[in-house]
Amino acid sequence: MIDHEQLTSATSVLDLRVAHSESRPLANHVLILVHGLPRAMGMGRQAAGLLPELAEHLSNESGWLVATGTLSGVGSSTGTFSATKWKSDLAMIIERVAEGEPRISLAGFGFGGSLALNIAATDDRIRGVATFASPADLNAWCGDAEEFHRSVQVAGVVGDPTELLDPAALRADVIAVDPVGSIATIPPRRLLIGHGSDDMEVPVGDARLLVSGAEGRAELRIIQGAGHQLRADPRMVATLLGWLDRHR
């Protein structure tokens, strides 16, 4: 079963969906799924499209409460993308699900995984982080500032053009997320780094950079033959479910 609500995050209104199992309820465990940043034309509407279905499946199989929200500018959520804004949005979602002091974990896809690491670095309530196809080298991932700025506009994650940072500031704001520096502070809390061996958008070497940043204190799962889009890959789902099961 999925409950739907809206959260106010500064000037943005976010969509939040929370899945819970009626057959296998597991008290006090919450997983928050974090979508990535779309870079292709018009993909802002669809960036989190599969996550509610994934949340329901994970909840039914694990008994965990599984939440997923669309961050500013994505789906039907209002607002405009920036890394700082998305960090604020995710913090608001965490506050919402933290009622009752549950054990909270994050699972992020693409840039959402990088963001999850950054949030967990300063929030001890986060007991574990799983990333999938997440960039470690944000300098390389962003590329040229002007081109990155255009890709954000083209993707459609800009609600109000006047709120969009200029190209240099937007790129610097993303790079400040610093996933490699962030992951170093997370152990001994649990970490899972998943990546497709054939990812053409984020090199598989980025997964190894993250593990190295954690000084080897992270599980690494390379999914052979998989590309960048792992949300619907059954091997990714099985990997994530196994991680949840081991950390009840």
- Confidence category of residue 214, pLDDT binned at 50, 70, 90: very high
What pLDDT does 226 receive? 83
Better-scored residue on pLDDT, 48 or 219: 219
| pLDDT tens readout for residues 13-58 | 999 999 988 776 666 889 999 999 987 765 666 666 778 899 999 9
Beta pairing, strands 65-70 & 12-19: antiparallel
Determine which of 95-99, 205-209, 212-216, 231-235 has the lowest per-residue pLDDT on average: 231-235
Q: Is there a contact between 138 and 178 (Cβ–Cβ < 8 Å)?
A: yes
Predicted local confidence at residue 48, as pLDDT:
66
Instruction: Find the domain containing 165 and state its range.
Output: 2-246
Query: Which strands make up the sheet holding 103-109, listed edge to edge?
Result: 2-9, 12-19, 65-70, 29-34, 103-109, 126-132, 190-196, 219-223
pLDDT for position 135: 97
Q: For the domain that residue 170 is a member of, what is the CATH number?
A: 3.40.50.1820
CB atoms within 10 A of CB 149: 19
Percent helix, strand, coil in the chain, to 5, is 40, 25, 40
Tell me the pLDDT band of 99, cut-offs 50, 70 and 90: confident
Q: In the chain, how many domains are there?
A: 1
Q: Say which residue, 202 or 228, is predicted with more confidence.
A: 202
pLDDT in tens, 112-149: 999 999 999 999 999 999 999 999 999 999 999 999 99
